[in-house]
Amino acid sequence: MNRLVIADSSCDLKAKDNLEIVPLTILVGDQTFVDDSNLDLDIFVNTLRRHNGETSTACPSVQTWNDQYEKADECFVVTMTSTLSGTYNSARVAAEMCQQDHPDKKIALFDTLSTGPEMVLLIEQIQKWITENLTFEQIKAAGTEYLKRTHLLFTLKSLHNLSANGRVPKIVASAFDLLNMRMIGVASPEGTIKPLFQCRGDRRALSKLIGYMKSEGYDGGKVRISHVLDPSVAENVKTQILSEWKNADILYYSTAGLCSFYAERGGMLVGFESAA
């Protein structure tokens, strides 16, 4: 029996072993960027920074999802929040079509109501459960329960893209840069972006971030961090966490295209699990 984990590219991971990645597409003016392993992140981020017009994203097609479902008997599908993207719905429609043609195929869909490293936490758990030979039904139920204790924080150093899309006034975005401000926000329980704090400088932002993790029940468990072309900011978070929880399981890596689109250069996303 072939079992496969499938995720959209907002998880920031690359395809490997039993993990397949379905790319989103990002439109910057008249340029199209496919969020796959061929994307040059530095060129993409610089293009985004210089662009002052409209930008947009496009979710994977139903057929793209269906092509992945054809590869396995059991599929575990992890998507970004359905509140802000059509990605989950596209994956769901593809699953319904695929199961009409293959009634014995099993497909579990997980709407994480989040993105980036919170998706990674679930992907890693599903892969672990597969190696432990849990049944399809056990993994589906355990994944749903696990998402109840995972969280996503993000920090932004720039509001340029939000300003270019009319979500933030340009004068606010300019002042944000000039004053060395940082925005800290979370993925809300409804799957939306919820700002929490604005503060000046990395040190203050780090203090706020760690404080929020504690308030949400973090006690030394897993932390996954994705950064937009700035590993130093992720290393600082890792160092601070390890100073309080020396056995914490922490990994960090670069964002892919979709999370870079929203977080911009110097931005960071932090996924963590609260105590069981």
State the Cα–Cα distance between residues 108 and 40, nearest whole angstrom.
32
Could you tell me which of 269, 266, 257 has the C-alpha nearest to residue 230? 266
Q: How would residue 193 be classed by pLDDT, with cut points 50, 70 and 90?
A: confident
| Mean pLDDT, residues 226-233 | 96
* Residue in the block written with tokens 């993105």: 115
State the Cα–Cα distance between residues 105 and 98, nearest whole angstrom.
8
* Residue in the block written with tokens 């932002």: 205
Least confident of 77-81, 91-95, 157-161, 211-215: 157-161
The pLDDT of residue 177 is 67
Q: What is the mean pLDDT of the chain?
A: 93
Structure token pair of residue 142: 């355990």
Per the DSSP assignment, residues forming a β-bridge with 250 are 223
pLDDT, tens digit, for every residue of 76-88? 999 999 998 999 9
The pLDDT of residue 200 is 85
pTM: 0.94
Whether the predicted pLDDT of 170 surpasses 70: no
| Mean pLDDT, residues 37-52 | 93
The pLDDT of residue 92 is 98
Structure token pair of residue 242: 């390890």
For 137, how many CA atoms within 13 A lie in the half-sphere containing its CB?
A: 0
The SS3 call for residue 182 is strand
Q: How would residue 251 be classed by pLDDT, with cut points 50, 70 and 90?
A: very high
* Residue in the block written with tokens 């432990």: 132
pLDDT, tens digit, for every residue of 108-166? 999 999 999 999 999 999 999 999 999 999 999 999 999 999 999 999 888 777 666 66
Could you tell me which of 50, 59, 60, 61 has the C-alpha nearest to residue 28? 50
| Mean pLDDT, residues 172-176 | 64
CA distances, 248 to each of 14, 149, 161 (Å): 24, 16, 34
Return the number of other C-beta atoms located less than 10 Å from residue 219's C-beta.
13
